[in-house]
Amino acid sequence: MTTMRPPEARAADIPAPLAAPAAADGAWRRRHLLDLDDFTVDELDLVMRTADTMKEVLQREVPRVPALRGTTIVTLFYENSTRTRSSFELAGKVLGADVINVAAASSSVTKGESLVDTVKTLQAVGADVLVMRHSRSGAPYLAARTVECSVVNAGDGLHAHPTQGLLDLYTMRASLGDVRGKRVVIVGDILHSRVARSNLWSLTTLGAEVVLCAPPTLLPAGLGRGLEGKLPPVRVETDLDRAVEGADVVMALRMQLERMHGGFVPGAREYSRLYQVNAARLARAKPNALVMHPGPMNEGVEISHEVAHGLQSHVEEQVQNGVAVRMAVLWLITRNSTRQARAATKGAL
Amino acid sequence: MSERIIIRGGRIIDPANGVDVVGNVVIEDGRVVSAGGSATGAGREIDARGLIVAPGFVDLHAHLRDPGLEYKEDIESGTRAAARGGFTTVCAMPNTEPPMDNRSIVEYVLREAAARASVRVLPIGAVSKGRAGKELAELGDLAAAGCVGFSDDGAPVAETTLMRRALEYASIFGLPVIDHCEDKSLAQDAVMHEGWVSTRLGLRAAPAAAEIAAVARDVALAEAAGAHVHIAHVSTRGAIDEIRRARARGVRVTAEVTPHHLTLTDEVVAFGCAGGDELLYDTNAKVNPPLRSQDDVDACVEALADGTVDCIATDHAPHAVIEKLCEFDEAAFGISGLETAFGLCMRLVHQNKISLETLIERMTIGPVRALGLDRQVPGIGTLAPGAPADIVLLDPAAEWVVEPERFASKGKNTPLAGVTLKGRVVATIAAGRIVHDETGVAVA
């Protein structure tokens, strides 16, 4: 049975609050974080409580704890990302880990090295955690099957972005408390959104009422069709005015420019007219409804400038919470790393 | 070739001749002498008691990859895989490198086959030069060289006018266009079937309509031209409905379905054949047309049972390990299917969805009639006296575990690894030669 208390040898290094989130026994057994689709209520709760502790650490005068001293985290990014990569890097460093950043463009990937070989190499040089961003859905699953070290999915293709889902949840809970019964409206390009996909799982698992709003051209197949057990239970609306009615949270998704030219919608002008989160629409939501956006924002397209930076906007808070949530994830995930297995791998070299 | 073989005491099923009796099959000089009669005289004896004795299977759709892609498969390994799967005839698709779009490549394939093949190889020529979908290949020359049909398989003939002309022109030689039906603009960048599984996995997907629309188009073209179109690897209920309606009004449309489209759904991509909760992104289940929904699978089985679909074809598509050990989007399309076809299809028999006789019909005389192969090879797919001694011995109840590393095919790419199948090919005789003997049944 897993306990959340770190090994005795390291306990002395760790400031008391960090050892605190004493989980229900066995609540955390993961070596990888790939998606939120199979997370239990207890697991989500544990991440949230651990993130509270991490947030406290971040507010200290010297925000450093040696909880992950001796741990090597490699961020392997096959796609550009400013906020996610730097957020993970900072999270690792606050916890005292060594963080190595590998941008796939500057690695041997451009020489045609396969994903399997790349992750094996990174494991062989000593990675304990691989934080991976990839343009192809499922790539972290292949990595997780290939290596003994932990794999954290930092976004894979159109599929999942679990730490974003967790930080969104954390942000919602900070303002709303429990999300059960709360209405969360996610509007925009659901089809191409890994953020939306991960959010669907965590929110519906916790009993939130999720409304998706998008033109049918930007909705993936099957959602809202009563396929419970196969897909998260959601309501689908194509009319944004109706969708935001009574919402507790309105989350706008980035509308990428290439979709405008890809024939999914006629163009930015019409898209913003039909699907922009603006003041008039926000007025239909609950008073003080949270406005969220995973970023980067196209202001004036999916969200108006005034709403993006208005009183109800929690966009910056999302980014801040990102560090705490990723600290929590890194800390939890390394509880169950298989040190012996990795030692064996290293010894073989 | 001249050896005399007596296969004794098996249950002989020869659907072409309505034969289903326990008895003996005698072959000599590579031909069937008798099936079901008495057997006297000398010869090698094979004890087939408790086994099914049937005509060797005929596969209208296999990628032997030779010439040019021998790292995936070659004529020798591909036909050995065929023999292990009970197939005594395989039709070789032309997406080789260079493509089989001219007589010299056809002659190369036939020459290689004569020297190295375990079973009969019948070539299929390309529809268009370079399989580029722009200009017709020299279909007359290809026919004269021995092609049994024309196909740009792997790619559809996107240009409607070219497809029309191909159908019209192929009819001169009485040969069908074998049609890979896929509207590429609808299936752009797709790597699987569109449905809840693709939503779950975040993979780009093609709707069933991409196949249905293409089938509807080409059925209309064949009808107008009075030509024969053979729909390759049909996989959707909608396409089957199109075919059924077209056949009812007399259009010359035939069709094949693969073992995997008869038995596996798109859920295998996500969860594998064992069906856990863990997402697998199983690249070995990446195939084109993609594995579809349960409703589509049901429609394929119904169509196979009622004859709307003429036959089973493997779409054997071997690939090298590294072409599957990669991101799902990057992985090659295709399943190595020759060695699992019978065992997998036997599921339908064990589930009482089709009879054993129907299954054997759809793997023997069914494909022969669909393409008219008996014009090139009289008696093929039957056990009639004088027919080629192409015979398979089957144990419908034997269970075995799929171990790709033991495949004769170079392509180990199957989603069935580790799966137990019930129904095994015990031995295969091609043109009177024992080309596969799983259990030593033919060892004197």
- Distance, CA of A131 to CA of A110 (rounded, Å): 19
Number of structural domains in chain B: 1
- Specify whether A63 is located in the same domain as A166: no
- Inter-chain touch A230–B202, beta carbons under 8 Å: no
Q: How far apart are the first and last CA of chain A?
A: 32
Candidate list B14, B66, B310, B315, residue with the active-site label: B315
Residue A321 and residue A48 in contact, taking contact as beta carbons nearer than 8 Å: no
- Specify whether A24 is located in the same domain as A68: yes
Is residue B6 one of the residues assigned to a domain? no
- Specify whether A135 is located in the same domain as A173: no
Is residue B173 one of the residues assigned to a domain? yes
What value, to the nearest 5°, has the Cα angle with vertex A157 and ends A156 and A162?
40
Mean pLDDT of chain B: 97
Kindly report the CATH number assigned to the domain that includes residue B328. 3.20.20.140
Least-confidence region, from B40-49, B126-135, B425-434 = B40-49
- Specify whether A176 is located in the same domain as A271: yes
- Specify whether A304 is located in the same domain as A170: yes
Annotation says B315 is catalytic: yes
Question: Could you give the 3-state DSSP secondary structure of residue A127?
Answer: coil
Q: Give me the torsion for CA of B181, A216, A202, A193, rounded to 10°.
A: 70
- Distance, CA of B199 to CA of A191 (rounded, Å): 8
- Inter-chain touch B201–A159, beta carbons under 8 Å: yes
Is residue B41 one of the residues assigned to a domain? no
- Inter-chain touch B327–A160, beta carbons under 8 Å: no
Residue B79 and residue B91 in contact, taking contact as beta carbons nearer than 8 Å: no
Domain residues for the domain of A63 are 8-159+321-347
Calculate how close chain B gets to A9, using CA atoms only, in Å. Answer: 35
- Specify whether A17 is located in the same domain as A74: yes
Read out DSSP for A137-185? TTHHHHHHHH-SSEEEEEEETTTB-HHHHHHHHHHHHHHHS--TT-EEE
Is residue B87 one of the residues assigned to a domain? yes
Kindly report the CATH number assigned to the domain that includes residue A229. 3.40.50.1370
Which residues of chain A lie closer than 8 angstroms to B280, CB-CB? Answer: 141
Is residue B369 one of the residues assigned to a domain? yes
Is residue A2 one of the residues assigned to a domain? no
Longest dimension (CA), chain B: 66
Taking the model in full, what pTM does it have?
Answer: 0.94
Question: Could you give the 3-state DSSP secondary structure of residue B239?
Answer: helix
Q: Is B74 left (phi over 0), alpha (psi -120 to 50) or beta?
A: beta
Q: Quickly count: other Cβ atoms within 10 Å of residue B440's Cβ.
A: 8
Kindly give the pairing relationship between strand B391-401 and strand B52-55.
Answer: antiparallel
Distances B144 to B107, B140, B184, B341 between C-alpha atoms, Å:
11, 6, 32, 31
Distances A74 to A99, A130, A346, B105 between C-alpha atoms, Å:
6, 5, 16, 51
Helix (H) / strand (E) element for A322: namely: helix A315-335
Q: Give me the torsion for CA of B337, B335, A113, A82, rounded to 10°.
A: -160
Residue B184 and residue B158 in contact, taking contact as beta carbons nearer than 8 Å: yes
Residue B58's contacts (CB-CB under 8 Å, 6 or more residues apart) are B87, B88, B89, B90, B311, B363, B364, B367, B368, B373, B380, B381
Is residue A3 one of the residues assigned to a domain? no
Which residues of chain A lie closer than 8 angstroms to B277, CB-CB? Answer: 38
What's the pLDDT score for residue A26? 63
Domain residues for the domain of B180 are 56-379+398-421
- Specify whether A189 is located in the same domain as A84: no
Which residues of chain A lie closer than 8 angstroms to B296, CB-CB? Answer: none
- Distance, CA of A7 to CA of A335 (rounded, Å): 9
Is residue A1 one of the residues assigned to a domain? no
- Distance, CA of A285 to CA of B28 (rounded, Å): 85
Is residue A52 one of the residues assigned to a domain? yes
- Inter-chain touch B205–A221, beta carbons under 8 Å: yes
Picking from B185, B196, B267, B277 by the largest number of A CB atoms within 10 A of its own CB, the best residue to mutate is B196
Is residue A63 one of the residues assigned to a domain? yes
Least-confidence region, from A184-188, A226-230, B49-53, B278-282 = A226-230
pLDDT band for position B394 (50/70/90)? very high
More confident residue, A257 or B210: B210
Closest by Cα among B395, B399, B318 to B82:
B318
Is residue B437 one of the residues assigned to a domain? no
What's the pLDDT score for residue A345? 47
- Specify whether A272 is located in the same domain as A151: no
What's the pLDDT score for residue A260? 74
Burial track A284-322 (b if 16+ CB lie within 10 A, e otherwise): bbbeebbbbbbbebbeebbbbeebbeeebbbbebbbebb
Number of structural domains in chain A: 2
**What DSSP character marks residue B406?**
G
Which residue positions in chain A have pLDDT lower than 50? 1-17, 20, 22-25, 340-349
Residue A10's contacts (CB-CB under 8 Å, 6 or more residues apart) are A67, A69
pLDDT digits 0-9 by tens, B318-356? 999 999 999 999 999 999 999 999 999 999 999 999 999
Calculate how close chain B gets to A52, using CA atoms only, in Å. Answer: 30
- Specify whether A185 is located in the same domain as A137: no
Which residues of chain A lie closer than 8 angstroms to B194, CB-CB? Answer: 221
Residue B86 and residue B396 in contact, taking contact as beta carbons nearer than 8 Å: no
Which chain A residue shows the shortest CA-CA distance from B196?
A222
Residues 100-129 of A with CB under 8 A from B: 114-116
Closest by Cα among A322, A323, A302, A304 to A312:
A304
Calculate how close chain B gets to A342, using CA atoms only, in Å. Answer: 22
Interchain CB contact of A158 with B (< 8 Å): yes
Question: Could you give the 3-state DSSP secondary structure of residue B243?
Answer: helix
Calculate how close chain B gets to A256, using CA atoms only, in Å. Answer: 17
What's the pLDDT score for residue A18? 57
Burial track B371-403 (b if 16+ CB lie within 10 A, e otherwise): bbbbeebebbbbbbeebbbbbbbbbbebebebe
Interchain CB contact of A79 with B (< 8 Å): no
Considering only CB atoms, A142 lies closest to which of B194, B196, B281, namely B281
Interchain CB contact of B159 with A (< 8 Å): no
Q: What is the 3-state secondary structure of B419-439?
A: CEEEEEEEEEEECCEEEEECC
Is residue B50 one of the residues assigned to a domain? no
Complex ipTM, two decimals? 0.92
B311-312, strands of its sheet edge to edge: B177-179, B229-231, B253-257, B311-312
Calculate how close chain A gets to B244, using CA atoms only, in Å. Answer: 27
pLDDT band for position B37 (50/70/90)? confident
- Specify whether A288 is located in the same domain as A336: no
- Distance, CA of B282 to CA of A108 (rounded, Å): 25
Is residue B51 one of the residues assigned to a domain? no
Interchain CB contact of B277 with A (< 8 Å): yes
What's the pLDDT score for residue B133? 96
